[in-house]
Chains A and B, each alone.
Chain A
């Protein structure tokens, strides 16, 4: 596989469920990102990992918990979500500053619906 992949593509969950979103990149990048895209809002950066270390957390509620076990994989663990968390969750990856150009490459997203 090439590029950035995300699974599942669609997820419906209740407010008491626990689920995880998975992202995998095959581009040799060493930085990964989670974004939230809600209707009529700009993309919101949630988390940034560089070399598997979390370097940014944009005031995201604790019901979202990221995990980056290695530079190719990124997870977003979800628990006790609210209906307003329904959105498209996008994963992206890039080189870090010292290793290459800075455009981010995005996955197709997971469309999350919280009932």
Chain B
């Protein structure tokens, strides 16, 4: 069965600190996709990154970086020099590659609430 675990329910950091959000997944598929979404207080989930299972290169985008390790089934997300605007709930998701309908079914983690204090 597919599963996404975000063990950290809530994290609080002081502005300018670095913070890492953990994501561990389970799947039997060899081809799959991993995602991170941000949900600010407004409610809308904002897409941050997509990774496919064949691409283990780490990625950096500004203050955001992602570490994908198939050996440990983890896809962790680090925010460097956190800012108050980073306060949100962050969701990790896994997408099946095999669907007969051509659509993508996401399995979401329970989310990690990040609070960045000024």
Binding site for B on A (CB under 8 A): 31, 33, 40-43, 45, 48, 50, 55-56, 88, 90, 92, 94, 96-98, 101-109, 111
Contact = CB atoms under 8 A, between A and B. Distances in A.
A102 B33 CA distance: 9
Interface of B: 4, 33, 35, 37, 42-47, 50, 91, 95, 99, 101-111
Given A50-B102, A55-B103, A56-B105, A104 B110 contact: no
A102 B19 CA distance: 28
Contacts of B111: 42
B50 A101 contact: yes
19 contacts: A31-B104, A41-B110, A42-B4, A42-B107, A43-B106, A48-B101, A48-B103, A55-B103, A90-B45, A96-B102, A96-B103, A101-B50, A102-B50, A102-B95, A103-B50, A104-B104, A104-B106, A109-B43, A109-B44
